[in-house]
Structure 1
Amino acid sequence: MTSSLVRGRPRHATAHIRVRVAHALVGAVAGAGWLAIPVLAAQDPATATPPPTRTTHAAPSAPRDDESSAVDLILPVAVLGTAGVLAAYSYVRRTRRSPGVVSPAPAAPTPAESDHQARAALVQADDSVRASEEELPFAAALTDERTLAPFRLAIRTARRELAAAFALWHRYEEGEPRDPGDRRQALVGIIGRCAEAGRVLDRPLRAEVGPALEVAEGAFRRLAARAAGARATASPLHERYGPSVGARMTGRVEVAMDRLVFATSRLNAARRAADLGEDERAVRQLRRAEGAIAQAGVLVAGMDDQTRRLREAYALVPTALTGAEAVLAAARATGTPVPSGADDTLAAVRAELTAGPYDPLAALRRITRALVRLPGARRGVLDTAADLVARADAAEAEDFIAVHRAAVGADARSLLAAAVRALGAAHPVEAAALARRALESAERDVRAHGVPQSDVVPLRTD
């Protein structure tokens, strides 16, 4: 969505000038008429005293002509005088109200202002799409699929608009286009697409407070049981895959439990408000509870997915390492330059396999990055390893941004969108690198922002 720039005087300014001129003319005529009333009354034959009886004495004509000429001049002089007074008064009002020269059109935003507007639009649109996606499971328990179909379509449409906006923003951040005018239009396009994403999502799903509260409470109970099971699996993961994996998984469980505690308090507040007949307050509390439950669900489900990927990676590392060593040997045999440090990386990974617990996803990430420029790195087991790493990294960044989005800015979200595009274009090594950068950027935002309870974003506030 783009907007055209209109040059020249705005139409409302022209109309305003015409109104002021009309007011001045009406005032001038009215003033002139008021000044001329005595003269016209003196000359009106219907009301004037009868003329004296004519005598045989001839009256001099010169004084009569002078009197008529003076009367004839009164009306024009009055009109000009009144118009001058009104014009002077209008000028004084205008200069007092807006001293100096007033531009006929508002000043265009500076590049910094446009940049800030685009960032804010991206964050707002991304939050809207995520909130709508999280709301669907709650709505699905209260209505039929036929009713949900338009909302699912709206979410898909908004997601496409948002993806296009992030693609434009990523190119803009990389310096494309270079022309200043084209860059301004790129920002206009970004803001327009974000606005369109918000527009198609402006159809909130509504339900009665009582049934919606029961659905949320049921989801809370099921998720609390799953979270307890996830906590029990964190310790074995630490023992099998090392302290770095154990710390990540334990952190996920702790944040999920915090979200569930927050959801408990909001559900209780919503239930009390509903019992008192305060439906508006009950809905606000319910929305915050649903947001916390959805975020806890993201963490618990993500932990299950990451555990599965860790098992797959653990089984794949020895084969991938052997395949990487074969690729290096083939490159040397054909005279293909070998990336510097590739041999050292593979040797370090092989040492980890015998030293004790290790992070298999991190090992695969190092292997695939070390050989990314070699022709044989995108075949067989190495391609499978690169795809597994990319999907794991993208999922980790996605979960972190979804849960902490109240503190995450546009850069991390844009990098994640770029990672998703690279993954769809079958560039897994690039996708993994972009996803890691997205996660690091989001973590910096959270550290700078802190993680108060306000970090829990309600699904909807309407």
Structure 2
Amino acid sequence: MTSSLSRGRPRRATAHIRVRVTHAVLGALTGTGWLVLPMMTAEVHDPVPVASAGAVAAAAAPQQDGTSVADLALPLVAGATAVALAGYGYLRRTRRARTRTTPGTVPARPPTPTPAESERQARAALRLADDCVRASREELSLVRELFGDKQTEPFTHALRAAETELAAAFAIWRRYEEGVPEEPSARHQALVGVLGRCAEAGRRLDAEAAALDRLRGLDEDGGDRGVGAALVAAEERFRELAARAVTAQELLATVRKRYAPSAGEPVSGYVEQAKDRLLFATARLNEARQAADAGDRPRAVRQLRAGEGAVVQAAVLVDGVERLVSRLGEAAALVPAALTGAEAELAAVRSGTGRTSPTTTELHARLAHADLVLAAVREELTGGPYDPLDALRRITRAAGRLDGARSGVLDAAALLVARNSVAGAEEFVAVHRGAVGTQARARLAEAVRELGAGNAARADAVAGEARELAERDVREYGIPHLDAEGSTAGVAGAVLGGILLAETPDAGPPAAYGGPRTRSRHHA
């Protein structure tokens, strides 16, 4: 019967053992033959005429001595050769053992990452892919202004495809955070799906990066025309934004006088950050022009991209102030109608409530809460400055807890609030992405999905969570400030905003359209 050890031994290992045994047997037979050969040849008579006894006796002694030395030397040489071959075989077997676990098996595969390591990889991939998409979107907005929609269609298509892959990756990650799926193997596959989606998003952007540079004339064969035209466009946007930043400062002063302090909190510090980005853009665009005049194309392109990124983010900050002021005005005009619509809904629910309903107690509690909220809002309207967007949020949430039919004005109010919340969170993440982590980005992606699905209340709530998480990340990172002499020229703010990738001690290259492989191609 074959033992268990023999059954578990690989066939290839058994074959190697047989070969080694065969070699050993052949070596032993060869050595034995060399030892026996002298004895066999010692008794063989030489076929020559018989000589006299004296002559034979005289020549016998020296002939036997010479034959004995030669016959013993040959076996010694064979033995030494066998020992050398055995040592060589041992060295070969030792080297093979270092590269595989057992004789005859392939090298071991790398160990499977632990769940914690897989989660860390997924978070890093999501953040990197999100940064690539955002930077690509920023540069493409400038290119589209210069070349129009038709010439930039391939890049727009690639960006949309990357956005789709990233949205799917965030959706998988969000379900994973919620515990879906539950099986360990399925959860591992979910993380693999996140990594695959992020990789595909980056690949789509990487594939078009070189073509975008050729269109802009920023490649080696572009000449001076491409850099010059881009500098002119960036400088025009810079001058426009400098004037708008002053106007935004005045708008914020008006908001503080007209509304409650909480109304302007979402854009607090935006004007100062916009000025910081513009300061950085001034320095980089000037350096880009000097480098272009000196014929230093790589440096000109690098400084141009840094200046363009700062100009785009300054526009995001100024747009954020203007957006909030506009939404506050819309909300203030809508609050009275929303109050009336909510009170009508409460009356309809009361008239349709049965005394014997099992949910009567809970419904009465909700009605009482809604009455308190509406009364508080009405008091704020007549008591002085208030926050119109917050008032609409409280009205729609109080009415949303009831089971009655929603009026059109309440739906419009909820949509206005949700759009404002999502836009505010999007702007904050965009200009602070150097510090914002994966959790806040995932919540923001979820808010965008909910808004697109028409779930305004849910979108507003999740966008608020995303904004809180992003602000927490920035506080932990630290808000950069210029030193007394302004020698940093906004570099710290550019790193915070992801304009510079912080890959080297000098703050790194500027971010460009592309995926992980090409986004830092304009390095020093």
1:366 deviates by 1.1
Contact residue 248 and residue 271 of structure 2 kept, 8 A: yes
Structure 2 letter corresponding to 1:221: R
For residue 407 of structure 1, report the CA deviation from its aligned partner: 0.6
1:191-270 correspondence runs (5 A):
191-202=195-206, 203-204=208-209, 205-206=212-213, 207=217, 208-270=226-288
The answer on whether the counterparts of 2:266 and 2:424 sit within 8 Å (CA) in structure 1 is no
State the percentage of identical aligned residues. Answer: 52
* Structure 2 CA distance for partners of 1:369 and 1:272, relative to 1, 3 Å: same
Cα distance between partner residues in 2 of 1:422 and 1:171:
14
2:322 to 304, 310, 321: 304
**Map of 1:456 onto structure 2:** 497
1:450 deviates by 1.5
Following TM superposition, by how much is the alpha carbon of 1:169 offset from its aligned partner in structure 2, in angstroms?
Answer: 0.6
- Aligned twin of 1:174: 178
For residues 263-284 of structure 1, what are the alpha-carbon distances to aligned partners after superposition, in whole Å with 9 as ceiling and x for unaligned?
Answer: 1111122222222222222222
Instruction: Please name the residue that 1:85 is paired with.
Output: 87
CA contact 1:291–1:456 (8 Å) conserved in 2:
no
Give aligned pairs, total: 419
Matched to 2:349, the amino acid is A
Alignment of 1:237-386 (within 5 A): 237-335=255-353, 337-338=363-364, 339=366, 341-376=369-404, 378-386=406-414
Read off the aligned partner of 1:132 and give its amino acid letter: S
Superposition TM-score, scaled by structure 2 size: 0.72
Per the alignment, residue 463 of structure 2 pairs with: 435
Q: Which moved more, 1:268-277 or 1:401-410?
A: 268-277
Give matches, 1:77-116, under 5 Å: 81-90=83-92, 92=94, 104-116=108-120
1: distance between equivalents of 2:420 and 2:148? 33
Q: How far does the alpha carbon of each residue in 1:266-308 deviate from its partner, in whole angstroms, 9 at most, with x for none?
A: 1122222222222222222221111111111111122222222
Measure the CA separation in 2 of the matches of 1:345 and 1:100.
Answer: 75
**What's the CA shift for 1:201?**
0.5
Aligned residues of 1:121 and 1:194 also touching (Cα < 8 A): yes
- Amino acid aligned to 1:362: D
Instruction: Pick closer, same or farther for the CA change 1:434–1:298 going to 2, 3 Å.
Output: same
CA contact (8 A) 1:377 1:383 kept: no
**1:177-210 CA distances to partner (integer Å, 9 max, x unpaired)?**
1111111100000010001000000122212322
The 8 Å contact of residues 317 and 360 in structure 1, kept in 2 or not, is answered as yes
Change (3 A) 1:416 1:223: same
Question: CA–CA distance in 1 between the matches of 2:382 and 2:148?
Answer: 55
Select 1:418's aligned residue among 430, 439, 446.
446
Q: Write the distance in 2 (CA, Å) between the matches of 1:260 and 1:193.
A: 35
1:420, 1:431 within 8 Å by CA — same for their partners in 2? yes
What do residues 5-59 of structure 1 show as CA deviations (whole Å, max 9, x unaligned)? xxxxxxxxxxxx99xx9xx99xx9xxx9xx99xx9xxxxxxxxxxx988344799
Name the aligned partner's letter for residue 135 of structure 1: E
Paired amino acid for 2:199: A
- Alignment RMSD, CA only? 3.6
TM-score under structure 1 normalisation?
A: 0.81
Q: State the shift of 1:387 in Å.
A: 0.7
> Quick check: which has more Rg, 1 or 2?
2
Structure-2 separation of matches of 1:368 and 1:455 = 36
**Cα 1:141–1:431 shift into 2, 3 Å:** closer
Give the superposition deviation at 1:252: 1.8
Runs (5+) with no aligned partner, structure 2: 1-11, 35-44, 218-225, 354-359, 481-491, 500-510, 513-519
One-letter amino acid matched to 2:344: A
Tell me the distance in 1 between the aligned counterparts of 2:118 and 2:467.
26
Select between 416-425 and 270-279 the one with higher mean Cα deviation: 270-279
- Higher mean C-alpha deviation, range 156-165 or range 268-277: 268-277
1:54 paired with 2:48, answer: yes
Looking at structure 1, the residues matched to 130 and 496 of structure 2 have their Cα atoms a distance apart, in angstroms, of 16
Among 159, 168, 188, the alignment partner of 1:184 is: 188
